[in-house]
């Protein structure tokens, strides 16, 4: 398996600093190429949200470089990876939470991560950063851990009403600001010709799934150099529609 990929992160139109952090790594292993992506959207005063998200990225990046190679045999056990990620997230939640208590600053961060190995992918999320798969259409893999997502799921509000709801950014859990964190895990297929998007919530508020798919349809993407301009074009479109948050997105296609 081979991958085409690109990433783009933008401070947006109103923020003083970019509190999003991301990691994109492609490793050549005895099982073939393996793709690893993490997006983390920090929140907190001054640069503390940036600190929280960067801490998550650094920890997961170190895991991929130093721990993950020990998982490589003739196959890879995704359940074992999920257990390791769960332990990392629990440790990070405690570490960032303790930092916040000791400094008197409330801070936290989301995470959305994916690892793609031999036609299979493991996705993990806490908060409202998202993962999508793109094949013949676009499908949201993750569920937001947010008040609005709960309201939509219970039928108390519609998706259209949610766009204007002042609680849109209120999370039900995030790393560092929740007493306990329970990540969601998803195992999905990753056949050649399909693609994945991992993004912070700033990428999805002011654009439809149809627009995303029409620009990033994997059938249209056969050159890695063309991906970044497509991402930039979408982000600029989102900013022009009034999105105020930081915006980060990673696109990765199996070929």
Each residue of 108-123: pLDDT tens digit? Answer: 999 999 999 999 999 9
Q: What is the pLDDT of residue 42?
A: 96
Considering only residues 80 and 160, tell me which one the structure prediction assigns the higher pLDDT: 80
DSSP secondary structure of 215-252: HH-GGG---GGGHHHHHHHHHHHHHHTT--S-EEEEEE
In this prediction, residue 203 carries a pLDDT of 98
Mean pLDDT of 78-107: 95
- Tell me the DSSP string of 181-199: ---EEEEEE--TT-EEEEE
Tell me: pLDDT of 51 over 90.
yes
With 80 as the cut, is the pLDDT of residue 79 above it? yes
Both tokens assigned to 186: 């998803």
Q: Which tens digit of pLDDT belongs to each residue from 2-12?
A: 999 999 999 99
- Count other C-beta atoms under 10 Å from residue 140's C-beta: 13
User: Is the confidence at residue 46, as pLDDT, over 90?
Assistant: no
Point out which residues pair with 133 in neighbouring strands. Answer: 139, 196
Instruction: Please give the pLDDT value at position 37.
Output: 98
Instruction: Tell me what the mean pLDDT of segment 130-138 comes to.
Output: 98
C-alpha pair distances (Å), 100 with each of 15, 105, 129, 215: 21, 5, 22, 40
Mean of pLDDT values over 116-134: 97
Query: Among candidates 135, 255, 134, 136, which has minimal Cα distance to 192?
Result: 255
Which pLDDT score, from 0 to 100, does residue 47 have?
67
- Candidate from 21-30, 44-53, 79-88 with smallest mean pLDDT: 44-53
**pLDDT tens by residue, 201-245:** 999 999 999 999 999 999 999 999 999 999 999 999 999 999 999
Average pLDDT over residues 131-138: 98
Q: What is the pLDDT of residue 23?
A: 98
Mean pLDDT calculated for residue range 56-70: 97
Average pLDDT, the chain: 94
End-to-end CA distance of the chain: 6
Query: Which pLDDT value is given to residue 162?
Result: 76
């Amino acid at each position: 398996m081979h991958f085409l990929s690109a990433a783009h992160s933008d401070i947006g139109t109103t923020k003083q600093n970019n509190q999003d952090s991301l990691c994109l790594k492609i490793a050549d292993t005895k099982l073939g190429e393996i793709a690893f992506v993490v997006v983390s959207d920090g929140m907190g005063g001054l640069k503390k949200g940036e600190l929280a998200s960067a801490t998550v990225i650094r920890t997961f990046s170190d895991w991929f470089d130093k721990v993950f190679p020990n998982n490589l045999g003739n196959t890879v056990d995704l359940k074992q990876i999920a257990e390791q990620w769960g332990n990392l997230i629990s440790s990070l939640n405690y570490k960032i939470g303790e930092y916040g208590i000791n400094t008197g600053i409330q801070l936290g961060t989301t995470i959305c991560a994916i690892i793609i190995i031999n036609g299979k992918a493991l996705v993990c999320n806490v908060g409202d950063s998202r993962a999508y798969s793109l094949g013949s259409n676009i499908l949201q893999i993750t569920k937001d851990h947010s008040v609005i997502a709960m309201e939509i799921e219970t039928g108390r509000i519609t998706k259209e009403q949610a766009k204007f709801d002042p609680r849109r950014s209120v999370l039900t859990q995030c790393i560092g600001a929740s007493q306990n964190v329970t990540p969601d895990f998803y195992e999905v297929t990753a056949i050649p010709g399909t693609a994945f998007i991992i993004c912070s919530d700033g990428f999805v508020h002011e654009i439809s799934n149809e627009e995303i798919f029409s620009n990033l349809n994997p059938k249209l993407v056969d050159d890695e150099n063309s991906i970044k301009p497509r991402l930039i074009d979408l982000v600029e479109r989102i900013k022009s529609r009034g999105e105020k948050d930081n915006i980060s997105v990673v696109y990765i296609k199996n070929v």
